Structure 1
Amino acid sequence: MHDIKMIREDAAGFDAGLARRGILPLSCEILELDEQRRAALAKLQELQAERNAVSKKIGEAKRNKQDSADLEAQGARIRAEIEALDAEGPRLDGLLRDTLAKIPNLLDASVPEGRDETQNKQEKLWGTPREFAFASKQHFELGEALGLMDFAGAAKLAGSRFTVLKGALARLERALGQFMLDTHTGEFGYSETVVPLLVNDATMYGTGQLPKFAEDLFATTDGRWLIPTAEVPLTNLAAVEITPATKLPLRMTALSYCFRSEAGSAGRDVRGMLRQHQFSKVELVSVTTPEQSWDEHERMTRAAETVLERLGLPYRRMLLCAGDTGFSAAKTYDLEVWMPGLGTYREISSCSNTLAFQARRMNARYRAGEGKPDFVHTLNGSGVAVGRALIAVMENYQNEDGSITVPEKLRSYMGGLERITAA
């Protein structure tokens, strides 16, 4: 959510920021609504003062046994106007709030210009993709040949974009999640958290999923939503709270299932596990003071990179351009892992600083000493997507006979298993 005071003070700067995202100027529309709202409030206060004055005169007239009919008629007229404004004020408040709620965050100055993902900037390259002495396969070819990945069975149960994992592959997915949690809690100071997978409207609104992205979500029949990422409940734990500055930064992590409708992705990644309606992910969330947030962004990204490095998975860090940065983010790094079966890098983590954008939506604040409360900054990142990590391990550690070598860092989570073979 944007600060209306900032738009009043620098309308041209606000419009210039939106232009970087390809959005036409909106400040005139917003400020006109704001002026109507403020005028209605001023008129309401004026009428309330006038009503009080007339009421006082009516009281005096009655005490003096004077005719008060004209004054009472005037009072009735004022009450009618107040009742109309009592409805108009909230209507204008809601209209302004709804308008602001649909506008994305302004971008940090360090975000490069660009229309789409082809213009993202590579900031780091780690590891060398393995050269295979045989034709490498994609994860779904490996998994089905091993008898441990069942897409037909999942389709029978739930339709397309679901997967049933069995045996050692099911355990490998669990091992990846546990390894990530242990790394983030043990080395980076994140607090392990178990969160609800169903949340209410206010929670979705707070992190920016509603109202703009409703079609990307799954809704229940009782008015709740399945979370698209644990960022949603984790970040909202700070909603409507005033946290002492001495307790910041707050760092939380959760391994959860995530649910996305994948609206608009028809025909993309239809085979395998790359784009699923249900998937597991380890999420990282930080709540900080404004002074801490940029250092925290780098720290969070480094925590996600450490997971990939420990697993020996080549990756690159990409700074997203203006046209590819998400709705709530002021700046985002994507980590893209090498997928031998596809012969390319694919996103496995996004680490974003939203500044005060989400905090303003959810009224999440902090207080330094006895000072006035101010909005916190919130950050979120994948630490990392477990399903895509499973794919990357399968493809990077595949053997010519179709088996999969278990990375050393995961073997203790796999009961000492070193190689996954056919069931």
Structure 2
Amino acid sequence: MHDIKAVRADPAAFDAALARRGMPPVAAAILAHDEARRAAQTAQQEKQARRNAIAKEIGMAKRQGGDTAALEAEAVGLRDEMAALDAAAAEAERGQTGLLEALPNLLDAEVPEGRDETANVVLHQQGEIPDFPFAPKQHFEIGEALGLMDFGTAAKLAGSRFTVLKGPLARLERALGQWMISLHTEAHGYTETSVPLLVNDATMYGTGQLPKFADDLFRTTDGRWLVPTAEVPLTNFARDEIILEADLPIRLTALTPCFRSEAGSAGRDVRGMLRQHQFAKVELVSVTTAEESAAEHERMTRCAERVLTDLGLTWRRVMLCAGDTGFGAARTYDLEVWLPGQGAWREISSCSNCRDFQARRMNGRYRPKEGKGTVFLHTLNGSGVAVGRALIAVLETFQQEDGSVRVPDVLLPFMGGISRIG
């Protein structure tokens, strides 16, 4: 959500900032609702002052035995006019809020210009693209050949975009999640958290999924929503809270299933596990101050990068351009991993600084050590990382010519003695 005071202060700058995302001017429409609301409220206050004065006049007239009929009629008229003004103010506020809540976050000045992912900027690459002495296979070819990845049974059970994993491949997926959550809690200082997978409207609204992205979500018959990422419940810990600055930063992590309808991805990544309705992910969330959020963004991204480095994968950090940066983010780094079977870079993590955009929606604030009042928090989120995509990368990177897969060393303690899946 945006600060209406900032729109009032410089509407042209606000429109220019949104234009970087390819959006038309909207400040004038927002301010029209704002002015209508304020005018209605001012008129209502004036009429309330007149009603208060009338009440005194009626009291004085009655004490003197005078006729109060005209004053009482005027008071009734004012009451009705105030009710109409109250409705007008509420309608104007709904219009203003409706416009503001549909607008994406304003971008950091360093975000590169560009309309789509082709304008993203590669900042760093870790590792060399591996050279195989044989033609590397894609993950689903490896998994199906091993008899451990079953898309047919998944389709029978649930439909398309689901996968059944079996035996040591299912254990490898579990090992990845367990190792990642252990790394982030033991080495990176995140607090492991178990959260609800079903949340209410207010929770989805707080992180920006509602109302704009309802079609991308799964909703239950009782009005709850399946979480698309643990970012949603974790970030909402700060909703309607006032946190002491001394207690910041707050760093939380959770390993959860995630559920997405993939409404806008028809025909994309149909084969394999790249784009699923259900997948596991280790999420990282930080809540901090405005002064520390940029440094926290770098720290969080390095935590996610360590996962890929320790697994022995080839990866790169990419800064997303204006047209590819997500709705709630001011600045986003994507981590892309090289998939030898596909011969392509694919996203495996996104780390975003949302600044105070989500906190304004959630009314999440902190009390500074010095000074009075409260300040909106800054929130950040990142994948640390997506378990299914990490599994894909491990299968394709560590595949052997005989069709087996070597287990990365860091996962061996979680594999019960299995060092090779064949």
Return the TM-score normalized by structure 1: 0.99
**Distance in 2 (alpha carbons) for counterparts of 1:126 and 1:2:** 37
Aligned to 1:319: 319
Aligned to 1:376: 377
Which moves more between the two structures, 92-101 or 191-200?
A: 92-101
Aligned to 1:301: 301
Shift of 1:161: 0.2
What is the identity percentage for the equivalent residue pairs of Structure 1 and Structure 2? 67
- Aligned letter for 1:383? G
**Distance in 1 (alpha carbons) for counterparts of 2:165 and 2:61:** 85
1:15-414 correspondence runs (5 A)? 15-369=15-369, 371-414=372-415
- List runs of 5+ in structure 1 lacking aligned partners: none
**Distance in 2 (alpha carbons) for counterparts of 1:176 and 1:241:** 34
Shift of 1:69: 1.1
**Distance in 1 (alpha carbons) for counterparts of 2:322 and 2:218:** 28
CA offsets per residue over residues 228-252 of structure 1, 9 Å max, x none? 0000000000100000000100000
Shift of 1:264: 1.5
**Distance in 2 (alpha carbons) for counterparts of 1:62 and 1:164:** 84
Whether the 8 Å contact between 2:150 and 2:165 is mirrored in structure 1 is yes
**Paired residue secondary structure (2:174):** helix
Shift of 1:416: 2.1
- Aligned letter for 2:390? A
- Aligned letter for 2:388? G
**Paired residue secondary structure (1:318):** strand
CA offsets per residue over residues 157-196 of structure 1, 9 Å max, x none? 0000000111101100110001111111111100000110
Which moves more between the two structures, 127-136 or 305-314?
A: 127-136
**Paired residue secondary structure (2:238):** coil
RMSD: 0.7
Shift of 1:129: 1.8
- Aligned letter for 1:245? E
Aligned to 1:6: 6
Return the TM-score normalized by structure 2: 0.99
- List runs of 5+ in structure 2 lacking aligned partners: none
**Distance in 2 (alpha carbons) for counterparts of 1:91 and 1:195:** 36
**Paired residue secondary structure (2:2):** coil
Shift of 1:94: 1.9
**Distance in 2 (alpha carbons) for counterparts of 1:221 and 1:397:** 43
CA offsets per residue over residues 309-356 of structure 1, 9 Å max, x none? 000000010000000000000000000001011101100000000000
CA offsets per residue over residues 190-246 of structure 1, 9 Å max, x none? 000011000000000000000000000000110110000000000000100000000
**Distance in 2 (alpha carbons) for counterparts of 1:402 and 1:192:** 36
**Distance in 1 (alpha carbons) for counterparts of 2:79 and 2:31:** 29
**Paired residue secondary structure (2:34):** helix
Whether the 8 Å contact between 2:40 and 2:86 is mirrored in structure 1 is no
Shift of 1:371: 2.0
- Aligned letter for 1:54? I
CA offsets per residue over residues 64-84 of structure 1, 9 Å max, x none? 111111111111100101111
- Aligned letter for 2:399? Q
Q: How many residues are paired up?
A: 421
**Distance in 2 (alpha carbons) for counterparts of 1:115 and 1:382:** 24
**Distance in 2 (alpha carbons) for counterparts of 1:66 and 1:28:** 51
CA offsets per residue over residues 25-56 of structure 1, 9 Å max, x none? 11111111100011111111111111111111
- Aligned letter for 2:50? E
**Paired residue secondary structure (1:183):** helix
**Distance in 2 (alpha carbons) for counterparts of 1:88 and 1:229:** 38
Shift of 1:88: 2.1
**Distance in 1 (alpha carbons) for counterparts of 2:92 and 2:236:** 26
- Aligned letter for 1:26? V
